[in-house]
Structure 1
């Protein structure tokens, strides 16, 4: 980064970092995300001073599992150090937008704490209170400034208005996170967005050697010392479904082709299919460079959640059972990840068939709300934790469309060149005209009335 941005050792980074609650496997082994493991490790807790990596957030705030207390204290400390902040970031773009939404909702209390030099009674974690007490002093001028920026309700460029020395945003905006780019541009006043690395819980893959390039141009250079990397060509996998896969190594990939990433790691994973689809864009010396295209088979994603077609199908089937007493059934469905509000949430479009006769009738509001919750109960543990413990995903929404809507959807696709013989209803839609068509046919909208069950303990 210092090759592109000067003076990063002269200020601080406002990074919103969080741990997630741990769970245990049925055999009693601890299970937690890789970043939670890192933040709780000695490497993070006792890290030596590095002028290029000074955070405004106290370590105690990062390690607090209560999402509200962690966010509140990190935002407060970021406001106190606002003139020292040179970069603002989070792991995912959605996390940074959640922080901005938090500021919109709680700026009055934050300004009050800064004016009085006292921490809100809602913060009960003793380690956080001790850490914040070292930096929180009465500052009426700063409090008035925050109020003047937030009270009008104009949030355009709020990041650079409150943190005027910010040089760039440090967030992942590739893959599913690309949907957040326009919103980040709105809040930041067009600051550059740096995607610095490509990694997962399984392995550290590569670096972006041009971190200040446009998000659409991001390519990652694979670091061959991190693991043994192989690549499954997508075209050969599809053409020879019954034949053994023919894998390419790092030296055998071709520019312009897409591959599924396969890794063998020092930790013991052997030819593990990560599920990431990558496009070869070039080489740095002899090391190939890849653009992240998408997650394989993932339909919906708001943050770290990943819902595939089979899981969505099971959730719809479970929820549709609640319609049976009314003689109703789901004829067709599709979905979208709606990120126009913060936090984002799943939207499921249903077209219903309601039979006449005994037991027939249109289900009431309570039935549809129960269907929303039933779908959420059917989702995976990562989704339910994000909904229940973290608040990073909003309530699931069912939008009931009028009869014949999915026929109109097919007609639209055929008019654009799709084959009538090969057409299948898309289980997730992202194309704005299709979303507009669906929304224009909505007759009822229902929101999940409660959070799904989630526990850090195994079922």
Structure 2
């Protein structure tokens, strides 16, 4: 329990939030009052986290007790003996639905752990410390699609941060939702923060800007939202009522887009300080690298949270560092780790038993009744904050390629592919996905098991046979086991296909609820979709 002075301080913050919500004053004043109150509560969350970092084992034991039914054998050792390692965790959305903040939630945070609230408070504090103007009212634009219900943005306790209406993110069509949100973002020239639920959403929104900026400029000038597939008329009417004609901004958009798209984000929003993305590791790293090199050139990309299996597990307290790393919070879940490479008789180690520089598979107990789930995530320990590990996500085990047990990891395949593309003059890799030949069925022909790879490129419209073979050659050079199987003929030559622009945006819409991009397709319907977009 926190000291009495801390309880009083957070109670004052809770009252300030209540006053700010109820106050019939100017929106800017309400925003300032709520912001000050939340930052005060964030200070106590940060101190609580720092205190917990010195006593990882007791914090983990307390968290485990809260996750187990009353009367269950106590202690992590008894828990591990009673419950064997579980199967893979179910996939979870990258961001959960969070109810509107109520004053009592801040008070409850004095005694009980609320990861979504504590995570967002820490995010707001870290953002303000690194970028002093980032918490200005209506100065954050959100690009995030969730067709069933709004997905909580990073700064959800302070909704007055956002200039994009929540309804725009819930449209039935992903493309229509991102275009509508982009239009509202373009209206706000004084934007300070551009936030996306996933790096892919920012990537696809900027691709829509690149392809359709004349129509967006016309909509800005007229103060309208053009009809789009997947945009119901009633929703279009409600969103259009929030728009007003802005000919000057439309002219600025036309002028900047006519100059090209390198650094376009900074040029369209000159006061922008940071780009926030919900996920920037694993499969999303390719999009982040592309954004840094082109559209978002010159701007920091900040990934504030680490989630796995739908649970919030860690927070990034270093917004200005280019490579995201996350402090695992001992009060948010019960963590176990399997050392990599895997041992014959796996025995997990606990949060306070990790070694810097080593890699571990994450085993998670985050929800009552879901015990010791293998997340399939591999983490590298980058350092420590007191006793709490600071980790970097490395790869997803479910995304390894294997047709003969050779197991080519996701991040290393991407490195080989980027190396091959770098040998093709003028080409830049935009996106890719892989398929193991077993999914192809009879269409794979009578041949040895092999990989098929679908790529989208910029700067290249066709692939020669020599270029197609180059990727297979790079894999043989990088993976001796793969080379051995290729030499024996037990794995056939890789087949490389070039798809048209926009193919992966269609694939992501077909995936359903937003989640990090899979690099190995496991469903026939998705395979058929990507096959239908092949141009070479």
Per the shorter chain, which TM-score range? 0.5 to 0.7
1:173 aligned residue = 280
Q: How does 1:347-362 map to 2 (within 5 A)?
A: none
Secondary structure of 1:260 counterpart: strand
Confirm or deny: 8 A CA contact 2:377 2:396 kept in the other structure.
yes
Residue 234 of structure 1 and its aligned partner are, at CA, apart by 1.4
Structure 1 residues 445, 13: closer, same or farther in 2, change over 3 A?
A: closer
**For the Cα contact (< 8 Å) 2:261–2:295, is it kept in 1?**
yes
Q: Contact conserved, 2:456 with 2:498, CA < 8 A, in 1? A: no
Q: Distance in 2 between matches of 1:142 and 1:438?
A: 49
User: Is 1:248 paired with 2:248?
Assistant: no
Q: Is residue 205 of structure 1 aligned with residue 269 of structure 2?
A: no
Aligned to 2:386: 285
Q: Tell me which protein shows more strand as a share of its residues.
A: 1
Deviations 1:300-353 (A, max 9, x none): 699xx9988xx6232234431xx4xxxxx34464355636459xxxxxxxxxxx
Distance in 2 separating the partners of 1:7 and 1:196: 17
Cα deviation, 1:359-401, whole Å, max 9, x if unaligned, reads xxxxxxxxxxxxxxxxxxxxxxxxxxxxxxxxxxxxxx99795
Structure 2 residue matching 1:10: 3-state secondary structure:
coil
CA contact 1:18–1:65 (8 Å) conserved in 2? no
Paired residue for 1:313?
A: 437
Q: Which residue of 1 aligns with 2:299?
A: 191
CA RMSD, Structure 1 to Structure 2 (Å) = 4.1
Q: Distance in 1 between matches of 2:437 and 2:476?
A: 24
Q: What is the rounded CA distance, in whole Å, between the counterparts of 1:420 and 1:222 in structure 2?
A: 35
| Counterpart contact for 1:169–1:191, Cα < 8 Å | yes
Report SS of the residue matched to 2:266. Answer: helix
Question: Residue 57 of structure 1: CA displacement?
Answer: 1.6
What aligned pairs does 1:216-365 form with structure 2 within 5 A after superposition? Answer: 218-235=324-341, 237=342, 239-240=343-344, 243=345, 245-299=346-400, 312-320=436-444, 323=445, 329-331=446-448, 333-336=450-453, 338=455, 340-341=457-458
Task: Provide Cα deviations, 1:28-65, integer angstroms capped at 9, x if missing partner.
Answer: xxxxxxxx5563xxx88xx76545xx222211101112
- Distance apart, 1:252 and its partner CA: 1.2
Q: 1:17 aligns with which of 140, 144, 147?
A: 144
* C-alpha distance in 2 between matches for 1:118 and 1:73: 10
- Kindly indicate whether the alpha-carbon contact (under 8 Å) linking 2:150 and 2:166 is maintained by their aligned counterparts in 1: no
**Would you say the 8 A contact 2:168–2:181 is kept in 1?**
yes
| Residue 409 of structure 1 pairs with residue 535 of structure 2 | no
Is residue 334–residue 425 contact of structure 1 (8 Å, CA) maintained in 2?
Answer: no
The aligned counterpart of 2:427 is none
Query: Which has more helix, going by share of residues?
Result: 2
Tell me the SS of whatever aligns to 2:276.
strand
2:248 alignment counterpart: 141
* SS of aligned partner of 2:395: strand
Question: Residue 60 of structure 1 contacts residue 128 of structure 1 at CA under 8 Å; is this kept in 2?
Answer: no
Q: Distance in 2 between matches of 1:268 and 1:38?
A: 27
Q: 1:3 matched to which residue of 2?
A: 129
Larger RCO, structure (CA 8 Å, separation 6 or more): 2
Q: Deviations over 1:4-30 (max 9, x none)?
A: 11022224212201014xxxxxxxxxx
Q: Does 1:120 align with 2:237?
A: no
Give the SS at the match of 2:355. Answer: coil
The 3 A distance-change label for structure 1 pair 38 and 222 is farther
Q: Distance in 2 between the 1:71 and 1:7 partners?
A: 25
| Structure 1 gap ranges (5+) | 21-35, 324-328, 343-396, 427-436
Alignment-derived partner of residue 78 in structure 1: 185
Against the structure 1 CA distance between its residues 114 and 422, is the aligned structure 2 distance closer, same or farther, given a 3 Å change threshold? closer
Deviation at 1:189, TM superposition (A): 2.4
C-alpha spacing 1:57/1:446, structure 2 compared with 1 (3 Å):
closer
1: CA distance, partners of 2:163 / 2:175: 17
Q: CA deviation at 1:455?
A: 10
C-alpha displacement of 1:121? 3.2
Aligned-residue offset at 1:174? 1.9
CA distance in 1, matches of 2:373, 2:357: 23
Give CA deviations for 1:401-440 in whole Å, capped at 9, x if unaligned.
5799599828962xx7x758973459xxxxxxxxxx989x
Return the alpha-carbon distance in structure 1 between the equivalents of residues 170 and 237 of structure 2: 13
CA change 1:405–1:64 in 2 (3 A) is closer
Equivalence for 1:387: none
Q: Using the alignment, how far apart are the partners of 1:93 and 1:18 within structure 2?
A: 12
* 1:446 Cα offset (Å): 7.4
Distance 1:48 1:93, change over 3 A: closer
Equivalent-residue separation in structure 1 for 2:367 and 2:432 (angstroms): 26
Residue 287 of structure 1 deviates from its aligned partner by: 0.9
